[in-house]
Chain A
Amino acid sequence: MEAKPSSNLSSKFVDQVVVPGDVILDLSSMANQTIKLGGGLRQDGDSISVMKAGTLRFTKPNKYWVESSHKRYVPCAGDNVLGVVVDTKPENFLVDIRGPALAFLPVLAFEGGTRRNIPKFEVGTLLYVRVVNANTGMNPELSCMDASGKAAEYGVLKEGYMFESSTGLSRMLLSSPPYPVLEALGKKLSFEIAVGINGCFWVNASQSSTVILVGNAIQKSESLSMVQQKIYLEKLLKSIQ
């Protein structure tokens, strides 16, 4: 979000649990480098301090953020989320992304979108969208295009069912190497899945029973440890055969 000079040393708090008030970086001792701050961090003059309790994460070359698992989502720019259309206005669609405020999706934010071919979304349409900017106090802005203007999988999700999870589970589902539950299910069943970082995921398959199985298995697996997950999945997949 903000660019500031920094050094090559990463903070010694990386991958540890931090609480609001912890200072993770002191910028006064750093050279001319940019660091990127993700969610949960704030710049206070020369120090970077933590706003949200969770685990501090760092990816090369210079991105820091705090990861925690909630049921409620705090919008952040660059996130891919699932949203439900609530209302249509002349300039925007009002979309609920399960955050504190409704988000605006401009009617032209589609690939090849002009005033003549504005899509018609009825109330309750499920969309996969990208958060363009999300400032506190303002309604977040969304887009159905990626940064370069291509459609890139964003848009309406048809059929299927949307399940709720927590933000932590959504992140685990999107991590690489892939989530073991997804891998194990994918080996035996064929289904389509779209994960929104705002605590929901959408599953579609040719049969309703497959959708229900995959969705419930993922939801249940959140509270199980690695070993328990393996056992649970083995039992589940055996019972389908």
Chain B
Amino acid sequence: MDQRQANSLIMTVNEKKFIESALLSDIRVDGRRPFDYRNLTIRFGSEDGSSEVQLGHTQVIGFVSAQLIQPYRDRPTEGTFAIYIEFSPMADPSFEAGRPGETAVELGQIVDRGLRESRAIDTESLCVVAGKLVWSIRIDLHIIDNGGNLVDAANIAALAALSTFRRPECTFGGEDGQEVIVNPPDLWEPLPLIIHHLPVAVTFGFIGKENNVVIDPTHYEEAVMGGSMTATLNTNGDICAIQKAGGDGVLQSVIMQCLRIASVKAGDITSKIKNAGSIDVAKYHMERLTLGSDVSTAGHSNMEIGSQSNERDETNKKNTTAKGFSGRPASWDPYSRGVDGDALKASLASRVTAPPDKHIKSSRQVKADVAKSSQRSSDTNSFQEAKKIGLQTDESKTLKDAVKPRQKRRINKSTSNSAAT
């Protein structure tokens, strides 16, 4: 009885009164205004599909893995995905090891609903053999520090991990051509998941009787708030999910205001995830090159995801790539050997080079920044030549050819903009 009382957060009456009275003057205990988010940091691990998100004091680790399984009977051509949440006891004194409690299950359901109902992950592309083998994606989220607002942080960790995850490429082989061979990642370039949009969760807390609304509550505010609402939306203006489980009643006008604010915040967070992801993609490519492997189609498909973002994102990337670079160039990585310029040029000289310039321009912007900061400007040219080669070998693919012409036009616009400025 003693221990369990000591484990839960005991709030003084002073704190509750103070939080409410401070909100009347539009200020919160950590100095934020009611609709300010805390600092968001997104980092990626060394493995594909691992992410670490820090939102103020809250820390969440996400990890994505994939496995081949038999599909469900009623959906023979779709892959599956599942979310597993673990509340580590080191995050909060009230978390206990073992089976997830009520809040953990609810958190998992919010993140799952945001991804599943809105069909953010393309499950049809996960099919290998219809009715027999599909990819099953498993998203593990570990809460390692509870500073409040676990839902948003866990959602961002899941999205970041999904966007950097690469699954192995499968080919048919064997004697009769019916056997499925899962190709190891060091021989065949692994493929990213097809993610149509990023559903971002934004949580609001309702404190006090006058319906004071705060965004991104800390765990002190969570202890005093009367109710909370989580809205999951994307930058296309779709509301993917809303969760308001019990708590104080809220006026309809307040809900509409919250949704409007949430869409603005979702845009910010989406661009942060994409920026962090594009820097990781750049580092990923530098590493693939330095390991001496053939640059293949995956390079092109990654740039596809990057270039599908609208022009605003592209200028954001130009401006913020250098600043947002989290300081992980391959130069200090003890396992990267660095690009051997001469050997690379010799191997490239034996190939045909007739590059589509539009793709190069966008890649050059991102790669140039990265190359500068890792002090390998001499290798930039050979790097770009290698990119051209990568883009060449995808002529045989079918889906991408269909999509290409539209992209060329988009990138034409952005490069003409950059040329004009």
Contacts and interface: CB of A to CB of B under 8 A. Distances in A.
Partners in one complex: yes
A108 interface: no
Contacts of A161: 14-15, 18, 29
A158 B25 contact: no
Contacts of A160: 14, 18
B350 interface: no
A87 B14 contact: no
Q: Which of A87, A125, A207, A208 has the most CB of B within 10 A?
A: A208
Contact of A212 (B14, B15, B27): B27
B374 interface: no
B5 to A, nearest CB: 6
Nearest to A157: B14
Interface in A129-171: 139, 157-162
A193 to B, nearest CB: 14
Contact of B12 (A87, A125, A216): A125
Given A86-B5, A102-B5, A216-B30, A209 B15 contact: no
Interface string B4-31: 0110001111111110011001011111
A76 interface: no
Given A102-B6, A124-B10, A216-B30, A208 B15 contact: no
Nearest to A220: B31
B5 A209 contact: no
Nearest to A203: B18
A158 B27 contact: no
A173 B28 CA distance: 24
A162 B29 CA distance: 10
Given A208-B21, A209-B27, A212-B22, A162 B14 contact: yes
A101 B2 contact: yes
A29 B222 CA distance: 59
A50 interface: no
Interface in B26-54: 27-31
A86 B10 contact: yes
Contacts of B28: 212
Interface string B382-419: 00000000000000000000000000000000000000
Interface in B321-344: none
Nearest to A211: B18
A209 B30 CA distance: 10
A139 B2 CA distance: 10
Contacts of B30: 212, 216
A14 B28 CA distance: 43
Interface in A201-225: 202, 207-209, 211-213, 215-216
A25 to B, nearest CB: 35
A208 B30 CA distance: 12
B17 A159 contact: yes
Given A101-B2, A102-B2, A159-B18, A208 B27 contact: yes
Contacts of B10: 84, 86, 96, 124
A101 B15 CA distance: 22
Contacts of A101: 2, 6
| Residue picked from B14, B21, B27, most chain A C-beta under 10 Å | B14
A209 B25 contact: yes
Q: Which of A100, A122, A211, A212 has the most CB of B within 10 A?
A: A212
A208 B14 contact: no
Contacts of A139: 2
Nearest to A95: B10
Given A160-B18, A211-B18, A84 B12 contact: yes
A37 interface: no
Contacts of B2: 101-102, 139
B18 A126 contact: no
A5 B12 CA distance: 45
A124 B6 contact: no
A36 to B, nearest CB: 30
Contact of A87 (B5, B13, B29): B5
The 6 closest A-B pairs by CB, nearest first: A208-B22, A126-B12, A161-B18, A124-B13, A124-B12, A84-B10
6 contacts: A158-B14, A161-B14, A207-B25, A209-B22, A212-B30, A216-B30
Given A124-B11, A161-B18, 9 more contacts: A94-B5, A124-B10, A124-B13, A162-B14, A162-B15, A202-B14, A208-B25, A212-B31, A215-B29
Interface of B: 2, 5-6, 10-18, 21-22, 25, 27-31
